[in-house]
Amino acid sequence: MPSTALLDALAAAAAIAILAAWLFRRQHSSRLPLPPGPPRLPILGNALDVVANGASQAYLKMGQKLGSDIICLDAMGMHLVILNSREAATDLLEKRSTIYSDRPWMTMICELIGLGWSLPLAPYGDDWKLSRKMFHHELNLGTAEKFRDMERTEAHVLLYKLLHRPEEFLGHIRHLVGATIVRMAYGIDAQPEDDPYVRLAEDAIQGPSQAATPGTYLVDTWPILKHLPSWFPGAGFKRDAVEFRRLIDTLLNTPYENMQDRMRKGETPDCAASSLLEVFGDGISADANTERVLKNTLASMYIAGTDTSVSTLSTFFLAMVLNPEVQAKAQMELDAVSGGHRLPVFTDQVSMPYITAIMMESLRWKPVVPLNLPHMSTEGGIYRGYYIPKGSIVCSNDWAILHDERVYPNPSAFDPDRFMKDGAINAEVPHPETAAFGFGRRICPGRYMAHDMLWITIASVLAIFTISKEVNDAGEEVMPETCSLPGFLSHPKPFKCTIKPRSQSHVALVEDATN
Ligand code: HEM
């Protein structure tokens, strides 16, 4: 039986431990305020201030009203921290990336649809690290260049289609991006029209894109609903999840199996899959864990790379419709370099800074992810005297950063000249890629490939075509709407335009390149 003295000592030790824990909590949480936020209601806190659509602009206004570039909504225990300036985003997401690189777990998309394995949604852990290593191996600044030939070929296919069915330009852009990524990831040459792999990939990401938009599914707010049986009234989300999961599983497995079949037959497709199997496996397969991560990595290229690139290219077309003078200036640059006798090549980049500036401005003017993908903190931390609790959801407001008028004067104008100085890109103006692709350890690993795909497509389209307003039956020009569709990824509202080749000799250039 323990002695009284021992019991006293234990009680004293317990009291000291409790006091120390209390002091620690007090020091690290309650004593310091959260970053500023709107007034909090009892129980609900700021739950009613969380914005689903148009969030980036609403949070910027909220910050301006509160006089702070960092704000915090405390919604029933969930802390949502918005970083409205480049400085705050860099300080937290980059300089303190060891603790701001996790992702929140969204019940519908991560668990029920099962996409928690995909790189953009994966928790910050070993699978994520291995997958980033694979991405880096294939798509870093140097290696991404090996995919340039296929990007150029797909740009030529786009030119051919624009020549023959210009009114379907949005579908053609979608095909260009899908075909490039399927070719790059699995070495599958997509058919020019209605390719089954491109179609599969497009179908498969539709449901998850919808599910990633906050507020679409109640189960993300009340995860307990996931236990409802699928026949239960109101449990339609469970039936949706089964269908979405089936498509995602097909996307994960079918193109990979196609690539492996070809390798077993002795083919060596030149693609990310075979190169990764060479480095991380035995050339044809890898151990079960590595192969699982490898398949996830390849499918993540498609899941994360398509809608984002399609959105930027749609923005480019919209900007050309609205800014004929920008287009004319770009064509002067193109003609001065190529004499109008050939299509652009990647080595032209150095002598075509204005084309690069148009690409930069397309990323800035309507950023694809206006409110960046959420990062989650794995530890509590103090920033500028505010306490940011562990488990906070931290989003950089990329729209606010890219529309900061101190950096980009008259930010709502599409003006590539803002990046130019003395006929070259002005290194003093921050490149929009430094925010449009996110921050820190979670920064987009496909950014170099995206840059190349966008550049060659923009240069090729402007070399051959003039894009202008749609003309209606009465012969009047129709102004396109410039608003974006709702959703966490921003897409310009679909619009019509006129796309005409600049001359017969330009038509001939396309025909030569695609015959
Ligand atoms: C214009 C094109 C693109 C834009 C604007 C874009 C933008 C972004 C942004 C903002 C993020 C989130 C970064 C963060 O959390 O801080 C991201 C993540 C990601 N992007 Fe991109 N992206 C583009 C193209 C691509 C392409 C072509 C690929 C692949 C081939 C790709 C693969 C990924 C992946 C896998 C992630 C998740 C990274 C992680 O969570 O660790 N992206 N992208």
Q: Ligand 1: does its nearest atom lie under 6 Å from the Cβ of 490?
A: no
Residue of minimum CA distance from atom 4 in ligand 1: 308
Whether 336 is in a domain gets the answer yes
Q: Ligand 1: does its nearest atom lie under 6 Å from the Cβ of 308?
A: yes
Whether 432 is in a domain gets the answer yes
Q: Using the atom order of ligand 1, give the atom closest to the CA of residue 103.
A: 40
CATH of the domain at 422: 1.10.630.10
477: Cβ contacts below 8 Å, ≥ 6 apart:
468, 469, 470, 471
Side-by-side strand order, sheet with 497-501: 477-478, 465-471, 497-501
For the chain, the residue count is 515
3-state secondary structure of 161: helix
Pocket test for ligand 1, best of 444, 447, 484 (most atoms within 8 A of CB): 444
The CA distances from residue 464 to 62, 151, 153, 163, 500, in Å, are 45, 17, 15, 9, 8
Residue pair 70/423 in contact (Cβ under 8 Å)? The answer is no
Whether 437 is in a domain gets the answer yes
Calpha distance 138→24 (Å, rounded): 45
Pocket test for ligand 1, best of 308, 309, 372, 396 (most atoms within 8 A of CB): 308
Q: Helix %, strand %, coil % for the chain, to 5? A: 55, 10, 35
Q: Ligand 1: does its nearest atom lie under 6 Å from the Cβ of 334?
A: no
Residue pair 370/363 in contact (Cβ under 8 Å)? The answer is no
3-state secondary structure of 8: helix
Calpha distance 73→47 (Å, rounded): 8
Torsion over CA: 244, 250, 251, 253 (sign): positive
Residue of minimum CA distance from atom 13 in ligand 1: 438
Model-level pTM? 0.92
Q: Ligand 1: does its nearest atom lie under 6 Å from the Cβ of 187?
A: no
Q: What is the number of alpha carbons within 13 Å of residue 231 lying toward its C-beta? A: 0
DSSP state of 232: S
Whether 93 is in a domain gets the answer yes
Side-by-side strand order, sheet with 70-75: 70-75, 78-83, 393-396, 375-376
Calpha distance 502→404 (Å, rounded): 36
Note down the domain range covering 391. Answer: 31-514
Pocket test for ligand 1, best of 128, 271, 437 (most atoms within 8 A of CB): 437
Helix (H), strand (E) at residue 429: none
Straight-line distance from the first to the last Cα atom of the chain, in angstroms, rounded to the nearest whole number = 94
Calpha distance 141→401 (Å, rounded): 24
Q: Using the atom order of ligand 1, give the atom closest to the CA of residue 367.
A: 5
Q: Using the atom order of ligand 1, give the atom closest to the CA of residue 300.
A: 35
Helix (H), strand (E) at residue 382: strand 381-383
Q: Ligand 1: does its nearest atom lie under 6 Å from the Cβ of 436?
A: yes
Residue of minimum CA distance from atom 37 in ligand 1: 120
pLDDT score of 29: 52
Residue of minimum CA distance from atom 38 in ligand 1: 120
HEC per residue, 75-128 = ECCEEEEEECCHHHHHHHHHCCCCCCCECCCCHHHHHHCCHHHCCCCCCCCHHH
Show the DSSP H helices in 165-235 as ranges.
169-186, 196-212
The amino acid at 400: A
Whether 5 is in a domain gets the answer no
Q: What region does 392 belong to: left with phi over 0, alpha with psi -120 to 50, or beta?
A: beta
Show the DSSP H helices in 193-287 as ranges.
196-212, 236-264, 272-280
Q: Ligand 1: does its nearest atom lie under 6 Å from the Cβ of 118?
A: no
Whether 23 is in a domain gets the answer no
Q: Ligand 1: does its nearest atom lie under 6 Å from the Cβ of 277?
A: no
CA of 446 to the centre of ligand 1 (A): 6
The CA distances from residue 189 to 153, 251, 370, in Å, are 11, 16, 33
Tell me the ipTM for this assembly: 0.99
Whether 222 is in a domain gets the answer yes
Residue pair 488/212 in contact (Cβ under 8 Å)? The answer is yes
pLDDT tens digits in sequence order for the chain, 515 residues long: 344 444 454 444 444 444 444 444 444 455 899 999 999 999 899 989 988 788 999 999 999 999 999 999 998 888 999 999 999 999 999 999 999 999 999 999 999 999 999 999 999 999 999 999 999 999 999 999 999 999 999 999 999 999 999 999 999 999 999 999 999 999 999 998 889 999 998 888 888 888 887 778 889 888 999 999 989 988 899 999 999 999 999 999 999 999 999 988 988 888 999 999 999 998 888 999 999 999 999 999 999 999 999 999 999 999 999 999 999 999 999 999 999 999 999 999 999 999 999 999 999 999 999 999 999 999 999 999 999 999 999 999 999 999 999 999 999 999 999 999 999 999 999 999 999 999 999 999 999 999 999 999 999 999 999 999 999 999 999 999 888 887 778 899 999 999 999 999 999 999 999 98
Helix (H), strand (E) at residue 420: strand 420-421
251: Cβ contacts below 8 Å, ≥ 6 apart:
200, 201, 204, 205, 299, 302, 303
Residue pair 251/206 in contact (Cβ under 8 Å)? The answer is no
DSSP state of 340: T
Helix (H), strand (E) at residue 73: strand 70-75
Q: For residue 88, give the nearest of 121, 52, 63, 53 by alpha carbon.
A: 63
For the chain, the domain total comes to 1
Q: Ligand 1: does its nearest atom lie under 6 Å from the Cβ of 438?
A: yes
Q: Ligand 1: does its nearest atom lie under 6 Å from the Cβ of 312?
A: yes
Query: Is 483 a known ligand-binding residue?
Result: no
Neighbours of 422 (CB within 10 A): 5
Whether 430 is in a domain gets the answer yes
